[in-house]
Amino acid sequence: MSSLAVRYPIVPWVAPFAVFMALLAAAPYLPLVQPWESIVRVSALVVVLWLASGSLIRTFRVSHLVGSVALGVAVCAMWVAPDLLIPGWRSHAIFQNSITGKITNSIAPADLANPLVVTLRIIRATLLVPVLEELFWRGWLPRWIVNPDWQKVELGRYTTMAFVASALLFAAEHGPYWEVGLACGLIYNWWFWKTKSLGDIVLVHAVTNGALSAFVFVTGKYEYWM
């Protein structure tokens, strides 16, 4: 796929996310049981990321280590705060409805006792999703909104439309958690605008997801693993 990426520069930025979404959509129809479903998902994402986006690894340099880690932890705290502070917050119809969907655990209760399934879920959330989502949501989409000839737009550059629209779409991806998803998208956009660093925004996202995975593991609130 590397030669394809040279011919079609959009591929490294969009293909991993497209495969990720396709796997999520296809999951109910795949004749696989755990842990094979998790193995197939993680393996497919690793292969696609390597083939499509391996050439971008050099752009993942972190220049604001402490700030990115601290921000990632803060965003995780923000993500869980409404449900912890206000009982029944997420049950309101504004969050769970026919448009945003219902909260469901992505892993069946019986499979949560399988260490391999849980480990692969943490790997996907902490190592893979931050890369493929940031390539798309911060690395490509805002630049394309600024100018369809997106390669002329430097990383971290936003117009008001690009800043708001990408955050709104990021929120929509998170269904019943759309309000914290929107806040998260705005914060991530701000940090990317400030740092102009793909490595830093991937690190923030990875720390957020890693901290959230730890919270889920400790508290048993698996509904956060959508």
Answer yes or no: pTM beyond 0.85.
yes
Q: Is residue 46 part of a domain?
A: no
In angstroms, the CA 140 to CA 149 distance is 11
User: What is the four-CA torsion angle of 129, 52, 134, 169, rounded to 10 degrees?
Assistant: -90
Query: pLDDT, tens digit, for every residue of 95-144?
Result: 999 999 999 887 888 898 899 999 999 999 999 999 999 999 999 999 99
For the chain, how many structural domains are there in total? 1
Nearest to 151 by CA among 1, 8, 44: 8
Q: Is residue 48 part of a domain?
A: no
Identify which has the larger pLDDT, 5 or 149: 149
Tokens of 203: 């690190």
Q: Is residue 27 part of a domain?
A: no
Q: Is residue 78 part of a domain?
A: yes
Nearest to 195 by CA among 103, 72, 68: 68
pLDDT value at 164 more than 90: yes
The one-letter amino acid code at 63 reads S
Query: pLDDT, tens digit, for every residue of 15-66?
Result: 999 999 999 999 888 888 899 999 999 999 999 999 899 889 888 999 999 9
Nearest to 207 by CA among 42, 80, 83, 68: 68
Q: CB under 8 Å to 212, separation ≥6 — which residues?
A: 76, 79, 80, 125, 224
The least confident of 24-38, 164-178, 201-215 is 24-38
The one-letter amino acid code at 68 reads S
Task: Decide if 206 contacts 130 (C-beta within 8 A).
Answer: yes
pLDDT at 2: 54
pLDDT at 68: 98
Quote the domain boundaries for residue 78.
Answer: 60-224
pLDDT value at 1 more than 80: no
